[in-house]
Homo-oligomer: A and B are copies of this chain.
Amino acid sequence: MRSVSIIGFGQTRFGELWEKGFREMIAEAGVKAVQSAGLDGKEIEAVFGGTMASGRFIGQEHIGALIADQLGLNPIPSTRSEAACASGSIALRNAFHAVASGDHDIVAVGGVEKMTEIDVGATSFALGGAGDQETELFHGATFPALYALMARRHMHDYGTTEQQMAAVAVKNHKNGMLNEHAQFHKEFTIEQVMNSGYVASPLKLLDCSPISDGAAALIVAETGKAKKLVEQPIEIIASSQSSDSLALASRKSLTELAGTKHAAKTAFERAGIKQKDVSVAEVHDCFTIAEILAIEDLGFFKKGEGGKATEQGRTALNGEIPVNPSGGLKACGHPVGATGVKQAGEIFLQLTGKAGKRQVKGAEIGLTHNVGGSGATVTVHLYRRA
């Protein structure tokens, strides 16, 4: 396989963007990414886009073609991928294959979601399509309910507390203060999180990531070519993806995501590195318990110790393994199709030393972890300076 690197990144602000449509967001993120790579757009040979539920959110499918059209990139190939909340990283993975194969040298990766044009009930129902429609959604199990089951069992088995989950929210909101593209710029205390209303016990409002609009885009190139185009490409040293049952009830355990463990194992083996080598990670914190599961299942902490580690500040921006410097899904926002692309973009900024006030000092190797549904799809990517 040819080596593949990221050479540019752009995104819209994430949030309730009443003033921006789906198409405007694509254009803004795409143009910013092209400019960030010092290109003018003509060099792009193909586009890989990630969107989850545009059919339900805005009545529009065929998003690949829309992206090419909107960015003036016809007639190059443009493809949409979907894996629920992991749609963005799946698009990155398809782009990775297209460049690694030699079919393309320079491609764009986009992620976009416009979630605020329909009412919240319809949004919840659309998002429920990420789980098992027949055995979960149809019976009323929306995503906070599914993750609440995982949280409750984790508390039962390992003594994880609601305060420890709150510590994830507090940390990520603190990081989000340093990210100009974050949906929320508001710090919270443990007490404030604890006093927010229950959505699905034990998960409270401030344990949940928000409904968001937003887009993010990357430019990806064969590493040899990348080195000629930009000063510091960031190489994708492993791209890994795993599947698990759609329905939570079919899993062996509620306290781990088997997909995360499998994808992480594969990725670390391929890259030939260990967890201790990772300087910075963006993980899928759709709910606070999800970040605790992630840092355990990725192998940064032992099973059952993720909550305590967070409470102790070990995942803070100045901790031993900074997790979610962007603010994560919790504070930066979670426009589902865009999230996986933004995660890779954040690592690109961190490893090129362009992360501004939230820069992790001396960041050498980065990791992204993106989850679809309650864990039926998981991707893990590893990155280092090329």
Contacts and interface: CB of A to CB of B under 8 A. Distances in A.
Nearest to A126: B55
A138 B21 CA distance: 16
For chain A, the bracket of interface size reads 35 or more
A51 B82 CA distance: 10
Nearest to A66: B246
Nearest to A127: B61
B243 A129 contact: no
Interface string A123-146: 001101111111001100000000
A321 to B, nearest CB: 25
B102 A1 contact: yes
Contacts of A61: 52-53, 82, 84, 126, 129-130
A127 to B, nearest CB: 9
A77 B242 contact: yes
Q: Is the interface of A mostly helix, strand, loop or mixed?
A: mixed
Nearest to A61: B129
A129 B55 contact: yes
Given A79-B81, A81-B79, A245-B74, A62 B100 contact: no
Interface stretch (A27-35, A89-97, A158-166): A89-97
A258 interface: yes
A241 B83 contact: no
Interface in A186-234: none
A312 interface: no
Q: Which of A60, A65, A84 neighbours the largest number of chain B CB atoms within 10 Å of its CB?
A: A65
Given A1-B102, A55-B53, A94-B79, A243 B62 contact: no
A118 interface: no
A354 B94 CA distance: 32
B97 A62 contact: no
A369 interface: no
A269 to B, nearest CB: 14
Contacts of A84: 61-62, 65
A52 B102 CA distance: 28
Contact of A246 (B65, B102, B372): B65
Contact of A103 (B55, B100, B132, B373): B100
A362 interface: no
Interface string A258-284: 110010000000000000000000000
A46 to B, nearest CB: 8
A261 to B, nearest CB: 9
A131 B103 CA distance: 28
B97 A58 contact: no
A97 B73 CA distance: 21
B244 A65 contact: yes
